[in-house]
Structure 1
Amino acid sequence: MTTALLTHPDCLNHLTPEGHPERVARLEALLPRLEGKDLLRVRAPLAADDDLLLAHPQDHLDAIKAAEPERGIRQLDPDTWMSPGSLQAALRAAGGAVRAVDMVLSGEADNAFVACRPPGHHAETRAPMGFCLFGTVAIAAKHALERHGLERVAIVDFDVHHGNGTQDLVQSDGRILFVSTHQMPLYPGTGAPSETGPAGTVLNIALDEGTTGEVYRRILTDTILPRLRAFRPELLILSAGFDAHANDPLAGLSLETADFAFVTEELCRMAAEVCEGRVVSCLEGGYDLDALAESGEAHVDALIAAAR
């Protein structure tokens, strides 16, 4: 029984301006906390163009490749930057998610955590934004459906910001259930509960500033888990953002480290009921380094426990 950890040193070469919250130090804080744990360690491969084209059109790929600077850093939007290592890092993130799906569906691992950056859940069909270049979890979900023949995949995004990019990329596909919990109002300003998608497979849960772990746990138990069980996914993919932590500087929710452990445990328990425990988790946000490291470690510990 195995939990896979997929990461790559290339993900440290995506550079952002001094003071930018999505920085190299995020992985430098998290990865040491995972040393010595019972993990199958895998170097995240590069995504191929065919992987990216599962979710994005060719013109998006071409634009991102053309935007990477030969030196220095280049600003793509108010929040999103590229350096000479950014494309390689983003390809590792997407490739790691694809490889994690392969491992979990083949039985090589029971579940997996992809510890890569940049994150992906804000990247829309044709637009990088919110620190993100490619829609990592959407690519992973499409890979599971198109190449492994699954009929239903669920994505749960517990990052504090709405996964507008993931929603944009998957909402027209009735084979994918997308669930997002997020503070509202907050960047990017999308994710109203009325946004249910053309196939009715989007569940947006808007949280008030100050929402506590107690309230979040009740929402998970009373709303999210029943919806997942009714959908009966054959694979569960997580957008694991840890910026709903009370100490995160970019938002105002009040979750604690123990809440992320609880959420992971309950989602894994549901997955054990409906899809043989098959879970792939991909790192998204989390910008207080201590909170990220502690919550990320708790998340991985829960994945390991679920795989035993």
Structure 2
Amino acid sequence: MIGLSPCAMALLSISGLHGAVAVATVSWLQVQNGSSVTLPCHYPSLDRHRAKFWCWGFFWSSCHVLARSDSPAEGGKVTIADHPDSGVFTVTLRDLQRGDTAFYWCAVEGGSSASLYLSVTNGVPNLMVEDNMVVGAEGGSVSIRCFYSNLTRDGMRKWCRSGDWGSCLTLDSPLAERSPLITDNGEGAFGVRMRRLQRSDEGWYWCVAGDLQAPVHIAVLQDPNNTLIATTKNHTTEESSTVFYSSTATVHKTNRPGQGSQLCSGAQTCLRRTLWVLRHAGLVLVFLICTAVAFWKIWQNRRVLQSRENRRCGKLRCQNNTDCL
């Protein structure tokens, strides 16, 4: 933000445009009260050696820094870890409470930033994943289940590579070699099977339903015999169009969104929309103020120039008129 005027900084802070390209993260994440979450913040390679930080607040220009990569705190509620080789830093939030519902920012010192809205609910989140840390074997496959509620049922369900909205796939996306298989069971869950895993597949992804996103990290190990790997290298149904659901990883209905869940996101949705309106109203207000200040300065400069011109002309008249003496 070096070299920008206060007005320009304020406009960029409210609109978030300055971080729209360089830094990328989820835009709206919903978690359950008392839970923890780890989310990714992507940044360009030019920012590899700069400090990264996690900031709380509605406006970027006045947000409160909660964690920095150059002075990480261990064992606290918020921890941050930078991964320069991957161009991503991760933020882990623990024991989240309703009061933690707010706007946050992923930021690079001296660079750009991106905002996200974190909503903490007492009920079941409207979008959640069975496991957001998945391990697979190179050449094998992994399965991810994403649960959504009635409120997000009408929204588009997507599977995206984190930081790249152009990579998103839907239920209707054409299948290519090694492309993920996506199916929806029609009962508030859609599944994703990542096939023929390669090391390049390792990284962060998003389950998307409507406006919500849920981050998922996939680790790809070279040793297929590792006991931590939950898939086999050659699964007989790997080419099937039906996503594999593991019977050993059952999610109880009380822990997933569904028709019988206690949904409390209506007020949160209204709050988010209200904040969105206020944010953009603030953008318009700052623009008007900056415009008024600019016109006032132009008018003031013209008055100063006019006054100087009048004094100069007066002196010239006095020099040519003895009545001035």
Task: Tell me the TM-score normalized by structure 1.
Answer: 0.23
Greater strand fraction, Structure 1 or Structure 2: 2
Greater helix fraction, Structure 1 or Structure 2: 1
The structure having more radius of gyration, on CA atoms, is: 2
